[in-house]
Every structure is written in C-alpha cells, then in structure tokens.
Amino acid sequence: MIQYLRHQQIDKKRWDDCIHNSSNGLVYAQLWYLDIVSPKWEALIEDDYESVMPLPAKRKYLIPYLIQPRYTQQLGIFSINRISPEKVKSFLDCIPRKFVWCDFNLNSQNPATNITRVSKRYNYELDLMHDYQEIYKGFNENTRRNLRKALQAGIAIEVKNEIDAFYRLFKIHNKLDTLGIALAQLKSIIEYSLSNNCGEIIFAYNDHGDIIAGAFFINIFGRIIYMTSFTSGEGQQSSAMFLIMDEMIKRYALQPIVFDFEGSMIPGIARFFAGFGAEKITYPRYQHSIIPFV
C-alpha cells in the first residue's frame, strides 16, 4: 500500500535506512540533501518504508506543485525491492491531485515504459573498475589532445577542500551573484559533504600558483558525482577542466566506483563527458498538469 505523507509525518530514520539499503540509492534522496534543496519536501511511502519517493513540493500563489530542485539530477522511486514499470505507474498515480503541476525527474532504475507523460533525459557514467591505462584507451582524440595541452601549459592539480575559495571563485566565474538561495544551497551541500567525508574539491593552478578552475564532487553509494565547477578564461584556454576530470579518474581507477558526470542535454557539454569514454544512460522526466492550458 502506498501512502502520502507530509514533511512532518515522515519517519526520518526509516527514510534514510531505505535509501541506504536500496539497490539504487543516490545522494539526492538522502534526508540531509533533500532538506537543503527542497526544505518542505513530502513523500510517498510503500508499506513499511520498503519503497519511497520524495515529492519536491513548492507553492506559488498558495498553489502546490512539484518541481525538480536545483543541484538534483534524479529523484523518483528508491526501493529495497525490484522496481517494475507497474510499480512506477502505481507511485505516479498516487501523487495527490492537489499538486496541479508536476515536472521532475525519476532515476535511471525507474522503468517508465508504460507512462505516457515522460521524456528521456541523459546522464553519462564511466565504470572505474579498470586500470587507468585501459580507461585512457576509451578517451577520444579531442580529450587526449586537451590533456596534452593542459600538461604543456604547466597546469597543476590539487585536492584542497577550501570552501570559501571555491565559493568565491564560483560566484565570480559563473556570474551568479544574484541567485542568493541557489548559492546558499550549494554552500550548504559542500559544507555537509566535506564535514562528513563524502565530498571533495579539486583546484587547477597555473604556473604562477593562481587558481584557474575548480570542481566539487560527492563520493557516496559507490558513485563519484561531478556536482559543479568554475573555470576562468585562462582555465578554458588551457583546458584545465580536462585535467581535473582525468585526475579524478586516475585516483579512483581500479575501484568499484562509477564516475557520474551528471550528464547534460547541452550537446557541447555532453560531448565533453562522452570524450572520457563515458556511457550515455537514460532516465525519465515526468511532466503532468491537471490544468488543461499548462
């Protein structure tokens, strides 16, 4: 039986136990993460928390709706059991009709073959359970050329979990000074991840010791997720981000870990990820409105 629970009704311990024990657990569905990106999230719960589905609830003009939160690629159903197309349909059918508009992503382990209101979105994933040299053979020529370019430019890479430096440079190079809520959420995610040993910040330096690029990763559930980054003009010219990605692959090669590039529907970014030999993975986007003209 699937039941709908408001935020204050959710048993937080049983929720996180389900996410940790599920076969498709993702950081986006953990309690701490949802509380940051969607503070008033609600949920659908099956039986005794055997399967759960977060509902990223918001309101506009007092009208409740569901929308994919920032910094959250995939949500959907997480379960200790196999997730069938029928299970996906059952959960979606149980979304309360008070949510007049729904636009959110399921996850790649949520088969939505019998749902009409879904579209495909793409992620890129790289299996790191191989020797680095073997993985390198899967890089395309453009990626190899840009790695050589970065090395010739004398770019140095260092893991340095300095939140303030990353946050300051992220704002400058991504020109996001006006998005206060989004930046505060990002900072909270980084702070929690680093303090709980599941996050990493990597910087790229030029030969004068200046930071010219940086990236933030979360490492949990056997998955390294490329969360976000910044690059200066010099960093772009010297292909510094190629070297940052390559460093992460080198560090975690031969481990049972998936490098999750977090995908993109933008062709140029998708080509960047695919250039490392990453496989295109499909996950569903669900959109539905009970208002005819929306």
CATH 3.40.630.30 intervals, the chain: 124-282
* Neighbouring C-beta atoms of residue 230, cutoff 10 Å: 23
Q: Contact 283/108 with Cβ under 8 angstroms?
A: yes
Of 178, 199, 192, 179, the closest CA to residue 36 belongs to: 192
Low-confidence residues of the chain: pLDDT under 50? 178, 293-294
Amino acid at 24: N
The pLDDT score that the predictor gives to residue 191 is: 96
- In angstroms, rounded to a whole number, what is the distance separating the alpha carbons of residues 97 and 100? 6
Domain 124-282 listed as CATH 3.30.43.10: no
Instruction: Tell me the whole-structure pTM to 2 decimals.
Output: 0.93
CB within 8 Å of 203: residues ≥ 6 apart: 157, 158, 160, 162, 165, 166, 211, 213, 214
pLDDT of 292 reads 53
Sign of the dihedral defined by the CA atoms of residues 130, 131, 137, 141, in that order: positive
| φ and ψ at residue 172, rounded to 5 degrees | -65, -50
Paired strand residues for 36: none
- Contact (Cβ atoms closer than 8 angstroms) between residue 241 and residue 226: no
Tell me the chain's radius of gyration from C-alpha atoms: 20
In the block, which residue shows the tokens 């910087």?
Answer: 203
> How far, in whole angstroms, is CA 115 from its chain's centroid?
24
Q: pLDDT tens digits, residue range 46-70?
A: 999 999 999 999 998 889 999 999 9
Residue 140's pLDDT is what? 98
Give domain 2-116's CATH number out of 3.40.120, 2.20.25, 1.20.120, 3.40.630.
3.40.630
